[in-house]
Structure 1
Amino acid sequence: MNKIQKKLLILGVILMLSMTLAGCGTVKSEAQGTWVLTEDHRMTMKIDGDDLTLYYGKESMKGKVREYKKDYATLEMAGPENNGKATFKNGKMYIGDLVYKKKD
C-alpha cells in the first residue's frame, strides 16, 4: 500500500468509528418519551427535553431535568422528597425503588 491508500484506510476507519459512536444513545436521548410506572399504570412521566410532567390519574405535577450525566439524569420536582436520580437501563427508568417502563 502506498501512503495515499494508508491515509484513506485510516480515514475510513475513523469515519466508521465516528458513525458507530454517534449511533449510541445518550442518557438525554434515552430519557425522552413517556414512562409508565410498572407497579401502578395510572402513574406516568413524560420527559420532553429538560421538561418533565408526572401524571397520576387526572392530576399532574411539573418538574425539570436538572442535569444529564453520563449514566443518569437528576430530576427536580416540587417538594424535596420528589427530587431524585433517574438511571436508565434496558428500556427502563429507575428512581429509587420505583421502576418505570418506556411506553410504546
Structure 2
Amino acid sequence: MDVQNIGQAAKQIASNATSDWFMWPFSRGYGEGFWPTAAKFLFVAAIFAGICLFLRFLYGPNGKFRDKELDREYEEMRQKELQHLEDKYRSGEITKEQYEWRKERT
C-alpha cells in the first residue's frame, strides 16, 4: 500500500465521520462545539498536571534526584532562626505566647 492510497483512505474516513469527536484531540481547530473544545483543554491540562506531579516525585521532598545539599542548607537556616528566636525570648523582646507561636511556624 503506497502513500497515495493511504491518503485517499484517510479522506474517505474523514468524509464519512459525522461525530464532533472524530480524530479527537487532533482535529482542525476549535469550531466543532463547546464540549470537544473543553475536553481538549482539560486533556492538555491533565498532561501538564501529570508532568508536574512526576517532576515533584523525582525532585520534590525526599525525591530520588533531589540534591541533598538543599536539605542541609534548609536545616542550618532553620536551626539558626530557632536560635535567634530563643535569644529574643530570653532577652524579653517577645512573650512566651509569641515565642511558642513563632516556634511552631518555623
TM-score (normalised: structure 2):
0.30
Q: Which has the higher strand share?
A: 1
Higher relative helix content: 2
Structure with more relative contact order (C-alpha pairs < 8 Å, separation 6 or more): 1
